[in-house]
Every structure is written in structure tokens, then in C-alpha cells.
Amino acid sequence: MDFSSKLLENAVYEVSQLPGIGKRTALRLVLHLLRQPQEQTQRLSFALQEMRDQIKHCKNCHNISDVDICDICNNPSRDRSIICVVEDIRDVMAIENTSQYRGLYHVLGGKISPMEGVGPHDLTINSLVEKVKGGQVAELIFALSSTMEGDTTNFYIYKQIEAFDVKTSTIARGIAVGDELEYADEVTLGRSILNRVPFENSLKSS
């Protein structure tokens, strides 16, 4: 693309560095900002910079937070003996939205993925193992994506804490509520039969 302005070209280039945004979309977004009051661009630009410079991670669960210990870890009504292991803040938000979980979290910051050069030491696995060693944890719930990388990460952590007295579980894999059986893949359907639950349980959770 041939721009009539270096300033515009530079802005489009930087916006197009974001994932899933190509040059054309970037140009559309930048032209939109040009049509809006100057303050909108100022606010956007300030909000991004302030966030990047000042954001913290909770020292306990590694979730994104404005303070050293996040609201969830600080909440006295939370059950400190259960830890749900998740990949990032989006998973925390998704689980919090269900209102079904009252324990704490541990945010790994990713999954073990040799393809993307992410090893165990790039994640917060050590700090999780230390927590388990401390003996205060009764159960770890693995809530990672059901992918090769997720399974590898689960297994790696499991091997590290095997020796300690801690229960481990994974979230149930099965047919999503509202889905039709005929469209489910066979692995999911197979697992959902193997891990069937007493009918009374399904009455309770609805």
C-alpha cells in the first residue's frame, strides 16, 4: 500500500502488528480515529500505555491485577484448599462467570508448547509446585484446553506433584449443554459415556 502520509503509514503499520488485524483493517480503524474527536485517540493511547506500564500480576495466583494480591486471593470466603489451574485471565473470567467455583486459581500464563518455544520454565509451574509442597492444598483442578499442549501441561504438573498428598482432577469433557449427539465428535462422545454421572447429579446442577 502506498500512503500519502508517513504518520498515517506508521499508525497503520503499528495497528496491523496486532493479531488478526491486516493492513486494510488497520487503515479502516485509523481512519475511524481520524474522524472522531482527538480526545478518543488520546484516551485509547493513554489507556494502552498506562495498562502496559502499570499492570501487575497477583503474587499468589499470577492473575492480572492492579494490586499485589488480587481480589480473589484476598477474599476470605474463598476456599483456599482448592486451586483451579488455568492458562490465562480469560479462563479465570469464564469460570468466575459460572458462579460455580469458590476456590482459588493458579494462572500458568500459557501451555507447554515446544512448537512455540514455550517450556515449563516459561510458565508459573514452579510456584504451583511450591504451593502444593506447602501442604495447604487439598485439590488441584486442571482446567486447561483439551488440546495436545493442554494435556502435556497437565501431565507435566501431575508428575511434579505426584509424590505429595494432593487430589487432582480435570474438568469434565463431554457433550456441551444444548448440543445434539449426532454432531459430537467420537472422542468427546466416548469420554462422556465413560465418565457418565449419576442422573441425580444432572438434576442438581441445572
96 binds a second copy (CB under 8 A): yes
Is residue 113 helix, strand or coil? strand
DSSP code of residue 62: -
Q: Which of 20, 114, 134, 198 binds a second copy (CB under 8 A)?
A: 20
Listed ranges 88-96, 129-137, 159-167, 195-203: which one lies at the site for a second copy (CB under 8 A):
88-96
Distance of CA 182 to the CA centre of its chain: 30
48 binds a second copy (CB under 8 A): yes
CB 5 within 8 A of CB 27: no
202 binds a second copy (CB under 8 A): no
Determine the Cα–Cα distance for residues 201 and 204; give it in Å rounded to an integer: 5
Residue 165's contacts (CB-CB under 8 Å, 6 or more residues apart) are 135
Listed ranges 31-39, 75-83, 163-171, 195-203: which one lies at the site for a second copy (CB under 8 A):
31-39
Residues 114-173 touching a second copy, rule: CB under 8 A, are none
Query: Smaller CB distance to a second copy: residue 72 or 161?
Result: 72
Pairing of strands 103-107, 64-65: unpaired
Query: Smaller CB distance to a second copy: residue 71 or 179?
Result: 71
